[in-house]
Amino acid sequence: MVIIVSLGVILLLRRLQLPPEQTFGAGVNFIFGNLIMLKIFPVKTDEDLRHLRAIRTIYIDFLESRFIEYLDESWYASAVAKHRQEVLDLPGPCCAPSGCLLLATTKDQVVGCIALEGLDNGKSEMGGLFIKPESRKSGIGRQLIEAVIKQARGICYTYMRLVAYQEMPDAIGLYLSIGFNEIKPFADDLTGSAFFMGLKLK
C-alpha cells in the first residue's frame, strides 16, 4: 500500500505535533517528512525464529558492551551464559498463548524485537526490547512497547512489569512517557543499577 502525504498535511501534522501512532496508525512512522514502513508481527515460522535469534544475539553483545565494568564480577560470566542459552531455547516461556515474541521490520530488514511473558495472578513481564542502533530515534521502540501492551491486554493481563537499567536513560524515559512507574524490586539487582517498573493494564 502506498501512502501519499501532501505538503499541507505535513505542515498540519507538524503544527499539531501529533505522534506517529496517532497520525497514520500502527505500521507507519512519520519522521521529518519521510515515511518509514514499519511492520510488527509475532514470531511464528522457523525463519522468524532464526531472525529473532540473530537480533537477540546482537542484543546480548550490546548489553555486554554497556556493562563491561562488571567483567571481573563473579556473577557476570554465568549471567551472560544464561542469556545466550535463552537465545538457543527460544521461544521458551514467551510463546503463545500466555506470551508472545514480536519482531519489527522496515524494508524487510529486522530492526527490533520485544517479548512478553505471562506470570501468575494476571501479571505479565515485558523484556528483550531491542532496536538496532541505526534504527533508533524513529519511534520503533515506542510502537513495539505499545504492541506488546496490546497483546497483554488481549490475553487479559491486568499488570505488566519490567526491568530497566540506569545505563540506558533513554529507555527509562520512554517507559515513563508511556505510563510505567518505578516499583519495588522483584528480582536480585546484581549490577546495583536496575530500575524496576510497572504498569496497570486495566
**What phi and psi, each to the nearest 5 degrees, are found at residue 37?**
-75, 115
- Report the alpha-carbon distance of residue 174 to residue 195 in Å, rounded: 13
Residue with cell 506517529: 20
E strand or H helix at 123: strand 123-131
**Predicted pLDDT of residue 43:** 96
> What mean pLDDT is predicted for residues 17-32?
37
Q: How confident is the model at residue 63 (pLDDT cuts 50, 70, 90)?
A: confident
CB of 152 within 8 A of CB of 188? Answer: no
pLDDT in tens, 154-163: 999 999 999 9
Residue with cell 500502527: 26
- Report the alpha-carbon distance of residue 92 to residue 64 in Å, rounded: 22
**Structural domains in the chain, sorted by start:** 38-200 (3.40.630.30)
Going by C-alpha positions, the residue among 149, 25, 29, 50 that lies closest to residue 103 is 50
**Predicted pLDDT of residue 188:** 82
Taking the CA atoms of residue 192, residue 103, residue 108 and residue 6 in that order, the dihedral angle to the nearest 10 degrees is -90
Q: Of residues 31 and 189, which shows the higher confidence score?
A: 189
Average pLDDT taken over every residue of the chain? 81
pLDDT in tens, 169-189: 999 999 999 999 999 999 887
Q: How confident is the model at residue 165 (pLDDT cuts 50, 70, 90)?
A: confident
Percent over 70 (pLDDT), the chain: 79
Going by C-alpha positions, the residue among 83, 43, 44, 39 that lies closest to residue 61 is 83
